[in-house]
Amino acid sequence: MYNVFSSFLSEHQFEFNLDEMKKDILNTKSKTAGKVISNYGGWQGPSLEQISKPFIKVFNEIDKIVAGIIKELRIKDHVKLHNYWFNVNGKGSFNRPHNHFGAIVSGVYYIDTPKDSGKLIFKNTYPVHEYYGLNIDGFNQYNSTEWNIQPKENLCVLFPSYLTHYVESNLSNKDRISISFNYGIA
């Protein structure tokens, strides 16, 4: 059964040491002005293409998963990492609904996720049950209008770049820290 969420929305739990990554992100934040794209409050770092040392192992794993997705999608073109950026969202910060136009696979990797720091929400713009007026027996990722993922440290979430998504407000007094990224045609 095809649906916008299951086309390749996937979660992968890694087991990397996050200390060096967190230190690098916070160091970058202290030296670099943030930009505003979908974020309200918080800090979004510059778009990066060269993978710095603390993140090489993470992106090596993500590359393998993306290669599997590209194979399943039967895309013949060479797909590679286009860019990545750091996100540091303090209390009250959130990300407005957006997509990653121009990419094929997008994702987020969570570095620090305090309790109540905001879920990742995906919007299904074509809920089949609503379109056909169907009665359903409970919602799941196949038939929901929205589907959410609770962030946790070392979790990597991959999704179709066209999929509209947003991040709830961080209600914690601590920063939520993550890395977002896009893969596209080389």
- pLDDT for 132 equals 65
Alpha-carbon distance of 125 to 146, in angstroms, equals 9
| Average pLDDT value for the chain | 91
Residue 2 has pLDDT above 60, yes or no: no
What is the percent of the chain where pLDDT is above 70? 92
- pLDDT for 129 equals 61
Alpha-carbon distance of 18 to 40, in angstroms, equals 25
- pLDDT for 124 equals 78
- pLDDT for 130 equals 66
For residue 184, which amino acid is it? Answer: G
- The 10s digit of each residue's pLDDT in 56-105 is 999 999 999 999 999 988 999 999 999 999 999 999 999 999 999 999 99
Q: Which residue ranges form the domains of the chain, and what is each CATH number?
A: 10-185 (2.60.120.620)
Residue 170 has pLDDT above 50, yes or no: yes
- pLDDT for 1 equals 38
- The 10s digit of each residue's pLDDT in 120-158 is 999 877 666 666 667 778 777 777 788 899 999 999 999
Going by C-beta distance under 8 Å and a sequence separation of 6 or more, which residues neighbour residue 168?
94, 118, 119, 121
- pLDDT for 143 equals 73
**65-91 burial, b if ≥16 CB within 10 A, otherwise e?**
bbeebbeeeeeeeebebbebbbbbbeb
Alpha-carbon distance of 20 to 27, in angstroms, equals 10
Alpha-carbon distance of 176 to 186, in angstroms, equals 31
- pLDDT for 22 equals 98
End-to-end CA distance of the chain: 30
